[in-house]
Structure 1
Amino acid sequence: MTTGAEEWTLPDDRQAVRRALVAWYEDDHREFPWRRTDDPYEILVSEVMSQQTQLGRVVEAWEEFLERWPTTADLAATDRADVVGFWTDHSLGYNNRAKYLHEAARQVEEEYDGAFPTTPDELQELMGVGPYTANAVASFAFNNGDAVVDTNVKRVLYRAFDVPDDDAAFEEAARELMPEGRSRVWNNAIMELGGVACEQTPRCDETGCPWREWCGAYASGDFTAPDVPTQPSFEGSRRQFRGRVIGTLREYDELDLDTLGHRIRVDYAPDGEYGREWLRGLLDDLADDGLVETGERDGEVVARLHR
């Protein structure tokens, strides 16, 4: 196979490669509750929560979320501010993901009569569901997905089979490897391989990696991998202060700018670097996401959660 000027090949005995990985996964893998369900709503919630949060921390949030809103009908019927508040309280990353999840539940109820679409293309019609999430839900809920390609999968393909650091090449290799009609177990298995055995610091022998006999990196001892963008620090980030705005406005019906500013950061100064102009920019972003709104009271600008 060729991508640009680079050539690469997969092992001739692909059936053996497939059998080895699936057997390794089925013999022993990390237990997550969303791996024990094929409910598309429960799987969508897990996928959205996992986008910026370590899986160990997602478990508790996922269970609490589904206890509170066990179906799309329950989630669609609740107030968006409650969903955003839950997201903030559990430090689940960008609050607009809570908004999108809430809107997707409404779509399922209003546009699909409560029944989830089943293919990756159809699932992308839901608010906030991109190609990766749509494919994951189609795979894990309906066994009807394409090969999932995430950071872990890229690392595995790059090391094991010398697939070049090129998205098209990764997609092609992943597609060629996945056994037909087995997207559920295959995608779980290859992501598990990347998450447990083929981490940035590999644990080949310790985890009994099933691909050692075919792996170029294992043979050469060269475990370099594609550069992976690092997440910006949460502390002091706009994400952090967006969350503080939402959390504060949940506690107070509405607040004027200066009162809100002083409540979300100790170094707030109306005319300073982190003052009214900075705060207005933050509120504008949140307003664009449909999370807050501003108005006037007694001649002063005030902010409140979107109603």
Structure 2
Amino acid sequence: MTTGDGSDRAGATGPADTTALQTALVDWYTDSHRSFPWRETTDPYEILVSEVMSQQTQLSRVIDAWRAFLDRWPTTAALAAADRSDVVGFWSAHSLGYNNRATHLHEAAQQVETDYDGAIPRTPAELSELMGVGPYTANAVASFAFNAGNAVVDTNVKRVLYRAFEGIRDDDDPDYRPLANELLPDGTSRVWNNAVMELGAVACQQTPRCDEAECPLREWCHAYQTGDFTAPDVPTQPSFEGSRRQFRGRIVRLLGEHDEMELDALGHRVRVDYTPDGEYGREWLRGLLSDLADDGLVRTEYRGERTVVRLE
């Protein structure tokens, strides 16, 4: 976020320059996000239905149910006029979780018709007045329908923030909202919130897929640079993360992107805390390269004062 004095910062827990991070994440999302039908609409009713259905239900299972629901009740007026038992029966038949979500959605539609003249409210505060609509859902609808929300903070977003920014780990029970809102570019809550949530779902999973999913935050991410992938919903370190096997894989990927790399340049790309004479320095890196050489994958060449590494 650009501040009033023109500098780029995201507070003590964020990166010094958020502009590049924001651009990288939005570009990644724009180029490669998963396609869901509710991402192709800005109709607030359609988005509200998708958000309620998606609570603790796999998105792949929601698609057909969402389409069928809207075919049957395409507007808040149609849903408000429906028999509640029909709505609950639909919910149960499609295995969409607790039936009270169906009754709350039905009541919310009646509120929209009677209290808001058939128009779903635009702000998180007003949306929170609807039956069954909590702060998260209210903010999501405001963001995705009206591009007028704050940062959305769900489990996926918490995991991304906790791993990416070291400072947020200082608190035993951190409040993620200030950092999430500082990172939110002005006027872009629709694409930004979708992008952060997608990152948590696709790349920054409980067992992360940083390289496979080409996570755009790798350059800034504390977890990626140190190998510590613990998170609020990942209390213990996944066995692969931070392992020698993971760093060997990172070396192979980097060398695959370059014809060759000098030893120290490679080390700094493999982990941010690499220092030639430190604990994670040349001796540590040579050990990894020795393992890879034994497997016939890399070759180290000595050219005068330069040490160069390349794939076999």
Fold conserved between structures, TM > 0.5: yes
Deviation at 1:199, TM superposition (A): 0.3
Q: Deviations over 1:166-209 (max 9, x none)?
A: 66531111011000110000000000000000000101111110
Output the CA distance in 2 between the equivalents of 1:146 and 1:70: 27
Identity within the alignment, %:
74
| SS of the residue 1:185 aligns to | helix
> Which of residues 193, 217, 226 in structure 1 aligns to 2:223?
217
Is the alpha carbon distance of 1:40 and 1:145 closer, same or farther for their aligned partners in structure 2, counting shifts above 3 Å? same
Deviation at 1:55, TM superposition (A): 0.4
Equivalence for 1:202? 208
Q: Deviations over 1:76-131 (max 9, x none)?
A: 01100000000100111110000000000001111111111100000001001000
Deviation at 1:34, TM superposition (A): 0.2
CA contact (8 A) 1:29 1:192 kept: yes
Equivalence for 1:179? 185
Deviation at 1:8, TM superposition (A): 4.9
Amino acid at match of 1:92: L
| SS of the residue 1:127 aligns to | coil
> Which of residues 150, 156, 163 in structure 1 aligns to 2:160?
156
Alignment of 1:1-307 (within 5 A): 8-162=12-166, 163-164=168-169, 169-227=175-233
Q: Which runs of 5+ in 2 are unaligned?
A: 1-10, 236-312
Runs of 4+ that moved beyond 3 A: 165-168
Deviation at 1:52, TM superposition (A): 1.8
Output the CA distance in 1 between the equivalents of 2:174 and 2:70: 36
Is the alpha carbon distance of 1:183 and 1:116 closer, same or farther for their aligned partners in structure 2, counting shifts above 3 Å? same
Is the alpha carbon distance of 1:46 and 1:228 closer, same or farther for their aligned partners in structure 2, counting shifts above 3 Å? farther
| SS of the residue 1:169 aligns to | coil
Amino acid at match of 1:61: A
Output the CA distance in 2 between the equivalents of 1:166 and 1:39: 39
Amino acid at match of 1:15: T
Amino acid at match of 2:66: W
Output the CA distance in 1 between the equivalents of 2:233 and 2:60: 24
Larger Rg: 2
| SS of the residue 2:175 aligns to | helix
Output the CA distance in 2 between the equivalents of 1:27 and 1:99: 38
| SS of the residue 1:149 aligns to | coil
Output the CA distance in 2 between the equivalents of 1:218 and 1:182: 26
| SS of the residue 1:140 aligns to | helix
CA contact (8 A) 2:159 2:233 kept: no
Amino acid at match of 1:31: S
CA contact (8 A) 2:142 2:148 kept: yes
TM-score normalized with structure 1 length? 0.71
Is the alpha carbon distance of 1:166 and 1:104 closer, same or farther for their aligned partners in structure 2, counting shifts above 3 Å? farther
Output the CA distance in 2 between the equivalents of 1:114 and 1:144: 20
Deviation at 1:222, TM superposition (A): 1.2
CA contact (8 A) 1:151 1:228 kept: no
Q: Which runs of 5+ in 1 are unaligned?
A: 1-6, 230-307
CA contact (8 A) 2:105 2:132 kept: yes
CA contact (8 A) 1:8 1:161 kept: no
TM-score normalized with structure 2 length? 0.70
Q: Deviations over 1:234-266 (max 9, x none)?
A: xxxxxxxxxxxxxxxxxxxxxxxxxxxxxxxxx
Deviation at 1:46, TM superposition (A): 0.3
Q: Deviations over 1:24-76 (max 9, x none)?
A: 00011000000000000000000000002100000010000000000001100
Output the CA distance in 1 between the equivalents of 2:125 and 2:44: 15
- The alignment of Structure 1 onto Structure 2 pairs a total of residues equal to 223
CA contact (8 A) 2:206 2:234 kept: no
Amino acid at match of 1:171: R
Output the CA distance in 1 between the equivalents of 2:163 and 2:224: 8
Output the CA distance in 2 between the equivalents of 1:182 and 1:43: 17
Provide the aligned C-alpha RMSD in A: 1.5
